[in-house]
A and B are shown apart, each in its own frame.
Chain A
Amino acid sequence: MSRDITFGQFYPANSFVHKMDPRAKLVLVIAYIVAVFLVKSLYSYIAIAVFLIAAVLGSRVPVKSVLKSVRGILVIVILTAILNIFFFSGGERVLFSWWKIKITVEALLFALHMALRLIFLVIGTTLLTLTTTPMNLTDGMESLMSPLKLIKVPVHDLAIIMSIALRFIPILIEEVDKIMLAQKARGADFESGGLIKRAKALLPVLIPLFISAFRRADELALALDARCYNATPKRTKYKVLKLGWRDAVGVIILAILIAAIAAVNASFWGLFGFSFGV
Chain B
Amino acid sequence: MGIIELKNVSFDYESDNTLSRGVKNLSLTIEKGSFVVLLGHNGSGKSTLAKLLNGFLLPGEGDVFINGINTKEKERIFEIRTKVGLVFQNPDNQMVASIIEDDLAFGPENLGVPRDEIIKRVDWALDAVKMSEYRSGTPYKLSGGQKQRIAIAAILAMLPEILILDEATAMLDPRGRAEVMETAKRLNKENKMTVIHITHYMDEAIDADEVIVLNDGEIAIQGSPEFVFGHPEIIKEAGLELPTATKVAGLLREKGFDIPLVLRDEELAEAVCQLR
Point out residues on A near B: beta carbons under 8 Å: 4, 6, 134-135, 160, 163-164, 166-167, 170-171, 216, 219-220, 222-232, 234-240
Fill in one digit per residue for B88-117: 1 if any A CB lies within 8 Å of its CB, else 0.
111011111111011001111111111100
Point out residues on B near A: beta carbons under 8 Å: 54, 56, 78, 81-82, 85-86, 88-90, 92-99, 101-102, 105-115, 118-119, 122, 138, 140, 154-155, 158
Contact of B102 with A135 in the complex, beta carbons under 8 Å = yes
In the complex, which residues of chain B have a beta carbon less than 8 angstroms from the beta carbon of A160?
96
**Contact among A6, A226, A237 for B81, CB-based, below 8 A:** A226
Contact of B92 with A227 in the complex, beta carbons under 8 Å = no
Q: How far is the CB of A216 from chain B (nearest CB, A)?
A: 5
In the complex, which residues of chain B have a beta carbon less than 8 angstroms from the beta carbon of A135?
97-99, 102
How many angstroms from the CA of A232 to the CA of B78 in the assembled complex? 9
Q: How far is the CB of B50 from chain A (nearest CB, A)?
A: 10
CB pairs A–B below 8 angstroms (22 shown): A4-B138, A134-B98, A163-B96, A166-B98, A167-B96, A167-B97, A170-B140, A220-B96, A223-B95, A225-B81, A226-B54, A226-B85, A227-B96, A227-B110, A228-B107, A228-B158, A232-B110, A236-B112, A236-B115, A237-B109, A238-B119, A238-B122
**Contact among B56, B89, B106, B140 for A225, CB-based, below 8 A:** B56
In the complex, which residues of chain B have a beta carbon less than 8 angstroms from the beta carbon of A166?
98
**Contact among A6, A225, A227 for B158, CB-based, below 8 A:** A227
Q: How far is the CB of A170 from chain B (nearest CB, A)?
A: 6
Q: How far is the CB of B2 from chain A (nearest CB, A)?
A: 22
Contact of A227 with B102 in the complex, beta carbons under 8 Å = no
Contact of A235 with B110 in the complex, beta carbons under 8 Å = yes
Contact of A227 with B115 in the complex, beta carbons under 8 Å = no
How many angstroms from the CA of A223 to the CA of B110 in the assembled complex? 13
Return the 6 tightest CB-CB contacts between A and B, nearest first.
A238-B105, A219-B93, A223-B94, A227-B107, A231-B78, A234-B112
Contact of B92 with A216 in the complex, beta carbons under 8 Å = yes
**Contact among A220, A222, A227, A240 for B56, CB-based, below 8 A:** A222
How many angstroms from the CA of A238 to the CA of B119 in the assembled complex? 7
Q: How far is the CB of A196 from chain B (nearest CB, A)?
A: 34
Q: How far is the CB of A223 from chain B (nearest CB, A)?
A: 4
How many angstroms from the CA of A229 to the CA of B93 in the assembled complex? 15
Most central of B54, B109, B111 by chain A CB within 10 Å: B109
In the complex, which residues of chain B have a beta carbon less than 8 angstroms from the beta carbon of A4?
138, 140
Q: How far is the CB of B191 from chain A (nearest CB, A)?
A: 19
- In the complex with contacts A216-B92, A231-B78, A238-B101, A226-B155 CB distance below 8 A: yes
Contact of A226 with B86 in the complex, beta carbons under 8 Å = yes
Contact of B98 with A228 in the complex, beta carbons under 8 Å = no
In the complex, which residues of chain B have a beta carbon less than 8 angstroms from the beta carbon of A229?
110
How many angstroms from the CA of A90 to the CA of B163 in the assembled complex? 76
In the complex, which residues of chain A have a beta carbon less than 8 angstroms from the beta carbon of B97?
135, 163, 167
Interface contacts beyond A219-B90, A227-B107: sample of 17 additional A-B pairs, CB < 8 Å, sorted by A: A6-B138, A163-B98, A164-B96, A170-B140, A216-B92, A226-B56, A226-B85, A226-B86, A227-B154, A228-B78, A228-B111, A228-B158, A229-B110, A231-B112, A232-B112, A237-B115, A238-B122
Contact of A223 with B88 in the complex, beta carbons under 8 Å = yes
Q: Which residue of chain B has the shortest Cβ distance to A6 in the bound complex?
A: B98
Q: How far is the CB of A141 from chain B (nearest CB, A)?
A: 15
How many angstroms from the CA of A4 to the CA of B154 in the assembled complex? 23
Contact of A238 with B115 in the complex, beta carbons under 8 Å = yes
Contact of A223 with B109 in the complex, beta carbons under 8 Å = no
**Contact among B82, B88, B92, B107 for A171, CB-based, below 8 A:** B92
**Contact among A6, A163, A222 for B140, CB-based, below 8 A:** A6
- In the complex with contacts A225-B81, A232-B112, A238-B102 CB distance below 8 A: yes
Q: How far is the CB of B147 from chain A (nearest CB, A)?
A: 11
Contact of B109 with A235 in the complex, beta carbons under 8 Å = yes
How many angstroms from the CA of A231 to the CA of B119 in the assembled complex? 20
Q: Which residue of chain A has the shortest Cβ distance to B117 in the bound complex?
A: A236
In the complex, which residues of chain A have a beta carbon less than 8 angstroms from the beta carbon of B98?
6, 134-135, 163, 166-167
Q: How far is the CB of B240 from chain A (nearest CB, A)?
A: 25
Contact of B102 with A232 in the complex, beta carbons under 8 Å = no
Most central of A219, A230, A236 by chain B CB within 10 Å: A236
In the complex, which residues of chain B have a beta carbon less than 8 angstroms from the beta carbon of A238?
101-102, 105, 108-109, 115, 118-119, 122
Contact of A228 with B81 in the complex, beta carbons under 8 Å = yes
How many angstroms from the CA of A228 to the CA of B106 in the assembled complex? 9
How many angstroms from the CA of A234 to the CA of B118 in the assembled complex? 14
How many angstroms from the CA of A226 to the CA of B96 in the assembled complex? 12
In the complex, which residues of chain A have a beta carbon less than 8 angstroms from the beta carbon of B101?
238
In the complex, which residues of chain A have a beta carbon less than 8 angstroms from the beta carbon of B102?
135, 238-239
Q: How far is the CB of A138 from chain B (nearest CB, A)?
A: 10
Q: Which residue of chain B has the shortest Cβ distance to A215 in the bound complex?
A: B93
**Contact among A134, A216, A231, A239 for B110, CB-based, below 8 A:** A231
